[in-house]
Structure 1
Amino acid sequence: MVTVLRGLGLLLIFLLELAVLTIGARWGWMLDTPTAVRLLAAIAVPLLLAGLWGALGSPRARVPLLPPAKRAVQAGWFVLGGAMLALLGHLRLGLALVVVWVTVTILLRRDP
């Protein structure tokens, strides 16, 4: 049972990671700029975020970080996602994203 719950927690974290990429695309598209710039931002922001996550935040990151630094990068990732949602006018959803990530992360760390 514990393994199933751990798997569900990890799946939820992964889905939240993907949500941040989607939020980044939406944020880029909603910039108050010409359409060509918005399109570029809608593509570039999630690509930049994915590159940063792959290099620093993912479990198999290319740059090895000490656990506190990796947790800081991961926290920054989800806080940035929440902030982008807030900037899009969805303050409660942004807060919920961060709260769910914090809750699941704490539960996963407590699990043996």
Structure 2
Amino acid sequence: MKLTILGSGSPEAYARRASSGYLLEVGEDVILFDCGGGVFDNLLRSGRKPSDITHLFFTHYHSDHMMDYARLVHAAVDSQTKCKFFTKTESCTEDEEWEPTTVT
């Protein structure tokens, strides 16, 4: 298991710190938790490609957790990669399971 912190900042822009983004590698799975501003660039700097991501989880829909999502989807469409996207809906409670959606 390997954890790469791609960002841990706030919604404010900083030259040396991206917003929320954590890449967890477990076996064949490459899981991205959140995709805030600056995370896409740091993903590339880490030596990973957007097409490497197999699963994406959003903890919630604030901009500092999802700002680079559009860039990630665009890259996935360009490379024709499939990624499982998981999120909780507004109606979900803490005990309910996350809903999967495949992004193609």
The higher radius of gyration belongs to: 1
More strand by share: 2
Q: Which of the pair has the greater relative contact order for Cα pairs under 8 Å at 6+ separation?
A: 1
